Structure 1
Amino acid sequence: MAEPVHSAEGGTAETPNTPSASVDVRKARKAFIPLECNPELMTSLVHKLGLSKNLAFHDVFSISDPELLAFIPRPALALLLVFPVSESYQQHRIAEDAGKEEYSKQGDGEDPVWFKQTIKNACGMIGVLHAVCNGAARDMIGDGSSLKELLSKALPLPPLERAQALEDSQELASAHKSAATLGSSAVPDAEADVDLHYVCFVKAKDNHLYELDGQRKGPLDRGDLGDCDVLSEQAVKVVQRFIDREKESGRLEFSLVTLAPGMD
């Protein structure tokens, strides 16, 4: 895997790392400041929203080097990949989605939980929500928290109404703005068009690996993981194929973080 474009502090002078959700979100009613790919910032954000402090985001500097992987607490519950939006990605996305129906599931039994993105530049927040609202992480959301209340409102709703619930959430907007303005990179305008994007890989409660992207037609089942986590061999092969396809565009601005137990 290519080296992440962010340092431990979340950015470098040479390479921007504030991804955009503007891949396919047109005429958005609302826009967010792009979220920096910074595990400390993301951890602060989800703790503020109500996720247990026993979980945190961590940098993944390699998915092939056992020594670097050994530093990451396990089990890893979700992966957030940031990548450059290339023509090859656009073609692959359109081709894969062409024969699929629009996702329509809703309710407490939904697995995995998926959020359609209608807010411009919110792919980072959507990715974070996908990471913390699925699998074992979902059971670690505090009762009475902003995130618990948002889920209680959103889960009974079909995708478009659920997306509207995210747009209407002042708590979500406030928490996102606080996090997005604390990064080490220059803060872009919420209406800016930038060309990096987040996608989330989670292990759902059915033990399958899902690719979750609010700009697709719905969750994408990438296979059964059994008892393994999202940094297992079968999971990282899926992520590596994604990276290898995008490397063909000649751009290497990839970053990867994982949601896993905290180190404190």
Structure 2
Amino acid sequence: MSEEGKRVHRKSFYPLESHPEVFTEVTHGLGVSSSLVWADVLSIDEPEILAMTPRPAFALVLVFPTTPTYQSQKKEDEAGREAYTGKGEDEPIVWWKQTIYNACGLYGILHSICNGPARQHIQSSSVMAGLLEKAIPLGPTDRALVLEGSPELEKIHTTAAMKGDTAPPEHADDEVEHHYIAFVTSSKTGNLYLLDGDRKGPIDLGVKLQEGGDMLSGPALEAVRTYLHREDNVGFSLLALVQEGK
């Protein structure tokens, strides 16, 4: 991330590794049902390998390097967009503006569990339920402060960030090369969204899942493919939030 981008963040967390067990620990720590876990998606083009991922899938988090191509395309996209101002129970999607540096993995998790079918699995009286109760009536700027001001959220995130196969950076504000974005559905409209806390707001992709489909079915996977092809990206990985035992 550029120094210019870094300055807009008021707080820093150690980054999360794109590892299913790490993501699952954060998800359960926030108070999501233990029946929901994260799994690697090893291929989106080979049906036999894709079939190895448990179903149904409620959300996808894409991890990719922030190449010059990505930075240029993002700048072009954002130039013509208005800043999102949505709030309240009637907004079609729950979007969190990222104001915590190196926490894009956390924002990917938050976007995934606060939207679509996954939101029904947030347990009452949990950390996540409390954050949503405070944040939903607020606009993006004040909503971001709810996350920044939560010691419970920071503890859950930091504990998980110390785990995984790769050692964390020496300092929380050290620059990292990868970024995380989420693909989810709106529980209000059924539309697919791309959610990235570093953008000006949620991006409505204008398509819906097929009847009976999940986030590993045609429209969602095509959205991921389109994004990857447009960015000319290599070295990406994909995680799915899935429900076990279904």
Secondary structure at the residue paired with 2:235?
A: coil
1:238: which partner in 2?
Answer: 223
TM-score in terms of structure 1 length? 0.87
Aligned pairs, number? 242
1:247: which partner in 2?
Answer: 232
Alpha-carbon distance in structure 2 between the residues aligned to 1:75 and 1:28: 35
Secondary structure at the residue paired with 1:77?
A: strand
Secondary structure at the residue paired with 1:125?
A: helix
Alpha-carbon distance in structure 2 between the residues aligned to 1:215 and 1:23: 13
Alpha-carbon distance in structure 2 between the residues aligned to 1:21 and 1:71: 38
Alpha-carbon distance in structure 1 between the residues aligned to 2:135 and 2:2: 20
Alpha-carbon distance in structure 2 between the residues aligned to 1:158 and 1:83: 29
Alpha-carbon distance in structure 1 between the residues aligned to 2:98 and 2:80: 20
Secondary structure at the residue paired with 2:204?
A: strand
Alignment pair present for 1:215 and 2:215: no
- Cα deviation for residue 244 of structure 1 reads 2.0
- Cα deviation for residue 247 of structure 1 reads 3.1
Give me the identity figure in percent: 45
Alpha-carbon distance in structure 2 between the residues aligned to 1:39 and 1:232: 20
Secondary structure at the residue paired with 2:73?
A: helix
> Where does the alignment leave 5 or more consecutive residues of structure 2 unmatched?
none
Q: Mark the CA change 1:81 to 1:22 in structure 2 (over 3 Å): closer, same or farther.
A: farther
Alignment pair present for 1:261 and 2:243: yes
Q: Mark the CA change 1:120 to 1:239 in structure 2 (over 3 Å): closer, same or farther.
A: same
- Cα deviation for residue 224 of structure 1 reads 2.1
Alignment pair present for 1:65 and 2:49: no
Pick one of 187, 195, 214 that aligns with 2:177.
195
Structure whose residues are more often helix by fraction: 2
Please list the CA deviations of residues 4-63 of structure 1 after superposition, one character each: whole Å capped at 9, or x if unmatched: xxxxxxxxxxxxxxxx79893425221000110001111111111100111111000000
For the 8 Å contact 1:22–1:121, the answer to whether it is kept is no
RMSD of the TM alignment (CA)? 1.8
Please list the CA deviations of residues 64-90 of structure 1 after superposition, one character each: whole Å capped at 9, or x if unmatched: 111112122222110000001011111
Q: Mark the CA change 1:78 to 1:168 in structure 2 (over 3 Å): closer, same or farther.
A: same
